[in-house]
């Protein structure tokens, strides 16, 4: 049967016009010591990266299956929310995993392209994940103290900056749990849940008060809509005693032109974020352009539509420089 299988592999290789060795078409299965992966690329570096992606892809399938099972079994409380949250992120996060220690087992050429078989030492990999997890836990623990005396928007920006790290930690927890690596699982999950709870609490306190001149009216409407989708409160009146209010001021300079029968509007909008105490948190200028065959007012409205595209492209937090 082995001989027949090898003959079939060789025949398939001939028909496909490819020159793949047996170890590439039928790589070793993962064992207790190593993960194995095969890859191909224009360069040796690309082939190795492709082989590591092969390992990550299989890890993703294994861990996603485990997470889905846990998510299904967790029917109430924080446990259910935690597993559902991990289920959403695990596939994309697994693809970002860095394998710091691997070894090329075999290599060959498929025409002009290098192909490789690599192995990753499981013990070294898991130990590296534990080190990364400890570093993230340290950051999550420190942020509560570091952010305590900051303004509400700065607090949120600090928590936002750690969201990718928290997502990475959730994935590492899933990896270690799937392979029964001992660590303080309940403690880590609680820290991650606390981080999410604190971040949500800060977000719920933020309130924007938006001021805009006449040429900024369409841009102001865009930002109100975008913040509303994020469930951020928009204040109709400014409460001078509310330290959680962020003042968002828009001032625009518009240059109108007539070009080949078109009305053109070039709008430079100065966006300023201030605390309720008057401290400037950030300030930047956005240029948007619009044209119309009708009149200058229609051109200004179209410039506002292009401003909206920029906000939608970056997301309101990215546009405002919060993440």
Which residues touch 44 (CB under 8 Å, ≥6 apart)? 107, 114, 116
Which among 254, 264, 261, 255 is positioned nearest to 298, based on CA atoms?
264
Determine the Cα–Cα distance for residues 170 and 173; give it in Å rounded to an integer: 5
Q: Average pLDDT of 98-111?
A: 88
Kindly state the tokens that stand for 53: 């992606």
pLDDT tens per residue, range 254-309: 888 887 878 888 889 999 998 888 888 889 999 999 888 888 888 888 988 898 99
Pairing of strands 245-259, 34-40: unpaired
What integer pLDDT is reported at residue 268 of this predicted model?
92
Angle (CA) 166 172 176, round 5°: 150
For the chain, domains (ranges, CATH) are: 21-123 (3.10.28.20), 124-204 (no CATH), 207-319 (3.30.160.150)
Summary mean pLDDT of the chain: 84
Which residues touch 67 (CB under 8 Å, ≥6 apart)? 83, 86, 87, 90, 174
Q: Average pLDDT of 226-230?
A: 91
- Going by pLDDT thresholds of 50, 70 and 90, the confidence category of residue 22 is very high
pLDDT tens per residue, range 142-162: 988 888 788 888 888 889 889
What integer pLDDT is reported at residue 3 of this predicted model?
46
- Going by pLDDT thresholds of 50, 70 and 90, the confidence category of residue 68 is low
Reported pTM? 0.74
């Amino acid at each position: 049967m082995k001989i027949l299988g090898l003959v079939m592999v060789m025949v398939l290789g001939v028909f496909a016009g490819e020159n793949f060795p047996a170890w590439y078409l039928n790589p070793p299965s993962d064992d207790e010591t190593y993960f194995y992966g095969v890859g191909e690329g224009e360069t040796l570096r690309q082939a190795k990266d492709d082989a590591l992606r092969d390992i990550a892809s299989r890890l993703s399938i294994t861990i996603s299956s485990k997470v889905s099972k846990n998510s299904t079994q967790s029917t109430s409380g924080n446990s259910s929310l935690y597993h559902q949250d991990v289920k959403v992120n695990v596939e994309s996060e697994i693809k970002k995993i860095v394998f710091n220690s691997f070894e090329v087992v075999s290599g060959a050429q498929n025409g002009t392209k290098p192909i490789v078989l690599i192995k990753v030492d499981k013990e070294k990999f898991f130990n590296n994940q534990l080190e990364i997890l400890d570093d993230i836990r340290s950051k999550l623990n420190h942020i509560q103290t570091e952010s305590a005396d900051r303004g509400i928007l700065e607090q949120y920006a600090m928590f936002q900056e750690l969201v990718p790290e928290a997502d990475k930690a959730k994935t590492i927890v899933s990896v270690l749990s799937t392979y029964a690596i001992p660590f303080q699982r309940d403690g880590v999950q609680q820290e991650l849940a606390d981080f999410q709870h604190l971040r949500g609490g800060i977000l719920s306190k933020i309130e924007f008060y938006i001021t805009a001149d006449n040429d900024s009216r369409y841009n102001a409407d865009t930002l109100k809509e975008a913040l509303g989708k994020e469930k951020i409160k928009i204040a109709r009146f400014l409460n001078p005693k509310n330290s959680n209010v962020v003042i968002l001021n828009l001032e625009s300079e518009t240059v109108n032109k007539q070009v080949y029968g078109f009305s053109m509007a070039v709008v430079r909008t100065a966006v300023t974020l201030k605390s309720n105490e008057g401290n400037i948190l950030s300030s930047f200028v956005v240029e948007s352009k619009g044209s119309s065959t009708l009149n200058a007012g229609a051109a200004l409205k179209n410039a506002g539509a292009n401003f909206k595209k920029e906000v939608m492209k970056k997301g309101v937090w990215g546009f405002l420089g919060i993440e």
